């Protein structure tokens, strides 16, 4: 958005602009699918048309709200250093599962096996909290503590995920191509923040925008988290049978 006065009265577009969401890569890196969502070039860097980004973002948020309202989880994924803190912070605040680091292949497609590792972590932490590890030797307890640490590093963010998620939200679909492929193979909808080098067709709900700036990533993660939170407030509660009219 080279013209900084454009859409200055739209708070969403202004917030995106201030976060640096409009900066793409050079034209030579642009994926063909991104052509229609670009505004122009400034200082050899392509600029996203934030009006179009807002349309994509709104569609993604509406979908995430429906997932939240259904009671299903949204799995937050961001392995790049600029995304880790935002992913972890927002997901933990919502009690949502997340991977803020390296994706372990098979996390979705081999979830049954992954679940056994998560259960082991839960069991060991529970036993340690209850003091049930006292029967082991000091060396054995040290090894168990190391095991807990390793499992926490790999699966700690997945503890809330008892079942496969209703959707996956990823930062940079190109970097997280394994995540996207696993989700697609299981028909789990993907919401993805995509820079100009990504294929817009790789996600059911793409969000074209800067996926390398920590401020831009933070903005979009907070938007998706906010939509999920909103959806959770609309979760359908069991309806009690009303008393029949006139019944005493």
- List the chain domain ranges: 11-103+164-233, 111-158
Class of domain 111-158: mainly alpha
pLDDT for position 63: 98
The structure's pTM equals 0.88
Using DSSP, state whether 86 is helix, strand or coil.
Answer: helix
pLDDT for position 78: 97
- Which burial class, exposed, middle or buried, applies to 21 when counting CB atoms under 10 A from its CB (0-12, 13-18, 19+)? buried
User: How far out from the chain centre does Cα 8 lie?
Assistant: 28
Residue with tokens 């979830």: 111
pLDDT for position 136: 84
pLDDT for position 11: 92
pLDDT for position 247: 46
Residue with tokens 């390398």: 212
Q: Name the fold adopted by 11-103+164-233.
A: Rossmann fold (3.40.50)
pLDDT for position 141: 85
pLDDT for position 138: 87
Q: Which residues of the chain have pLDDT under 50?
A: 1-5, 238-241, 243-248
């Amino acid at each position: 958005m080279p013209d900084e006065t454009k859409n200055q009265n739209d708070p969403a577009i202004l917030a995106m602009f201030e976060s640096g969401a409009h900066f793409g890569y050079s034209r030579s890196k642009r994926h063909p699918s991104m052509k229609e969502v670009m505004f122009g070039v400034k200082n050899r860097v392509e600029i996203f048309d934030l009006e179009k980004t807002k349309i994509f973002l709104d569609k993604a948020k509406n979908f995430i709200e429906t997932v939240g309202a259904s009671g299903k989880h949204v799995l937050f994924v961001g392995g790049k250093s600029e995304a880790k803190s935002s992913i972890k912070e927002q997901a933990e605040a919502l009690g949502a599962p997340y991977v803020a680091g390296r994706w372990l292949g098979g996390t979705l497609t081999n979830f049954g096996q992954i679940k056994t590792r998560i259960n082991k972590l839960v069991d060991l932490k529970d036993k340690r909290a209850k003091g049930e590890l006292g029967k082991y030797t000091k060396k054995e307890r040290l090894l168990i503590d190391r095991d807990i640490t390793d499992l926490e590093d790999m699966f700690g963010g997945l503890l809330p995920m008892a079942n496969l998620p209703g959707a996956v939200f990823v930062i940079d679909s190109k970097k997280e191509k394994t995540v996207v492929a696993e989700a697609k193979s299981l028909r789990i909808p993907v919401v993805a923040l995509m820079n100009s080098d990504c294929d817009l067709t790789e996600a059911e709900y793409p969000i074209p925008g800067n996926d390398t700036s920590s401020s831009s990533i933070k903005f979009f993660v907070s938007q998706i988290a906010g939509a999920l939170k909103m959806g959770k407030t609309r979760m359908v509660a069991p309806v009690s049978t009303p008393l029949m009219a006139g019944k005493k």
